[in-house]
């Protein structure tokens, strides 16, 4: 029996997002699984999985805001901008106050031009930057515009700085750590990172791979799925009657007068079966654009 739904995985450190998805496919016996935003191998935390037909929802999460907490180590930079990389300089002793680091961090809040790390998936003439970097070839990445909505320092303990942040899609927290070290004149790299949110999906929604394996072994996968009324909270929901559902199944437009000001509407059959996302054609007429249940 095919599985369709959304689940939040707590990705362990040392796993790529691809590794985590492959493991979920094996545990769930479902090949059609995708994720909503790559996490670096070192990082842990929120990795939303879209399963079965729900992979069609991915297009609505391409620009999702993300939130993180972690630590930055001052004293030396690395070639990958994180703890997995090789040091670029010998470590130096650092003595800074929380106030000094907080003042330097202010430069990274707002819309900024950010250069991606050389060890990243950004492509240069079709080749991922990390492949060039591994071969010690020149990596010439151009700055891109991102938005850091919040970057708050939570404490300084020796050479370690704690922080939490909220950022736009495409933002590299590794680059923030690296550039913070440059601004302080001491070098720095990302020591640890935990993603706490992707769009509406939060850490408290997340399940470990062990929990996923346990649920799969007892046939209780449904217990781990996010209720589909919770997804895309900015899009209104409607419970369709049989007449409207019949039209949707035949690809016809439906009249949803109460949502005439909305661009999209989530259409449900009953409380939990998400039938489709319908887009407004004109006035109160909506067309079933992304069909999720046949």
**C-alpha distances in angstroms, 82 versus 85, 96, 173?**
6, 20, 9
Q: Are 191 and 62 in contact (CB under 8 A)?
A: no
CA dihedral 170, 292, 243, 283 (to 10 degrees): 20
Does an H or E element contain 151, and which? strand 144-157
Concerning whether 84 is annotated as a catalytic residue, the answer is no
Q: Which of 10, 19, 40, 63 is catalytic?
A: 40
Q: Give the model's confidence band at 128: pLDDT under 50 very low, under 70 low, under 90 confident, else very high.
A: very low
Could you state, in order of their start, the residue ranges of all structural domains in the chain?
Answer: 5-64+200-224, 66-198, 237-291
pLDDT of residue 138: 55
Higher pLDDT, 124 or 246: 246
Please give the CATH architecture assigned to the domain spanning 5-64+200-224: 2-Layer Sandwich (3.30)
Residue 293 has pLDDT above 80, yes or no: no
pLDDT of residue 210: 97
The average pLDDT across 115-120 equals 74
pLDDT of residue 143: 83
As assigned by CATH, the class of the 66-198 domain is: alpha beta
Average confidence score pLDDT of the chain: 90
Residue 291 has pLDDT above 60, yes or no: yes
Higher pLDDT, 124 or 90: 90
pLDDT of residue 204: 97
CA dihedral 97, 81, 68, 46 (to 10 degrees): -150
**What fold is seen in the domain 237-291?**
2.30.130
pLDDT of residue 174: 94
Residue 134 has pLDDT above 70, yes or no: no
- Looking at residue 116, the DSSP 8-state letter turns out to be P
Least confident of 67-71, 95-99, 176-180, 195-199: 95-99
Kindly report, residue by residue over 138-169, the tens digit of the pLDDT. Answer: 556 778 899 999 999 999 999 999 999 999 99
Kindly report, residue by residue over 161-220, the tens digit of the pLDDT. Answer: 999 999 999 999 999 999 999 999 999 999 999 999 999 999 999 999 999 999 999 999
Residue 286 has pLDDT above 90, yes or no: yes
Kindly report, residue by residue over 2-23, the tens digit of the pLDDT. Answer: 789 999 999 999 999 999 999 9
pLDDT of residue 117: 83
Contacts of 29 (CB under 8 A, 6+ apart): 3, 216
């Amino acid at each position: 029996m095919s599985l369709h739904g959304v689940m939040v995985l707590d990705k362990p450190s040392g796993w790529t997002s691809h590794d985590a998805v492959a493991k979920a496919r094996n545990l769930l016996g479902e090949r059609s699984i995708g994720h909503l935003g790559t996490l670096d191998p070192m990082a842990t935390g929120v990795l939303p999985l879209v399963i079965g037909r729900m992979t069609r929802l991915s297009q609505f999460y391409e620009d999702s805001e993300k939130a993180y907490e972690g630590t930055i180590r001052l004293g030396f930079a690395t070639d990958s901008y994180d703890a997995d990389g090789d040091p670029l300089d010998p470590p130096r002793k650092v003595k800074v106050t929380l106030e000094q680091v907080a003042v330097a961090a202010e430069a990274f809040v707002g819309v900024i031009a950010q250069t991606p790390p050389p060890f990243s998936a950004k492509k240069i003439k079709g080749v991922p930057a990390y492949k060039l970097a591994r071969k010690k070839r020149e990596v010439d990445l151009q700055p891109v515009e991102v938005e850091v909505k919040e970057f708050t320092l939570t404490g300084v303990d020796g050479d370690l700085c704690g922080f939490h942040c909220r950022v736009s899609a495409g933002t590299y927290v590794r680059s923030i750590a690296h550039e913070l070290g440059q601004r302080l004149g001491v070098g720095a790299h990302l020591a640890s990172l935990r993603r706490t949110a992707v769009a509406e999906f939060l850490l408290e929604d997340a399940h470990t791979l062990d929990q996923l394996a346990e649920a799969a072994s007892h046939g209780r996968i449904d217990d781990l799925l996010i209720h589909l009324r919770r997804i895309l909270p900015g899009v209104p929901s409607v419970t369709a009657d049989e007449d409207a559902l019949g039209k949707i199944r035949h690809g016809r437009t439906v009249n949803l007068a109460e949502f005439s000001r909305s661009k999209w509407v989530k259409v449900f059959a009953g409380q939990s079966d998400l039938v489709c996302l319908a887009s407004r054609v004109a006035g109160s007429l909506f067309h079933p654009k992304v069909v999720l249940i046949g």
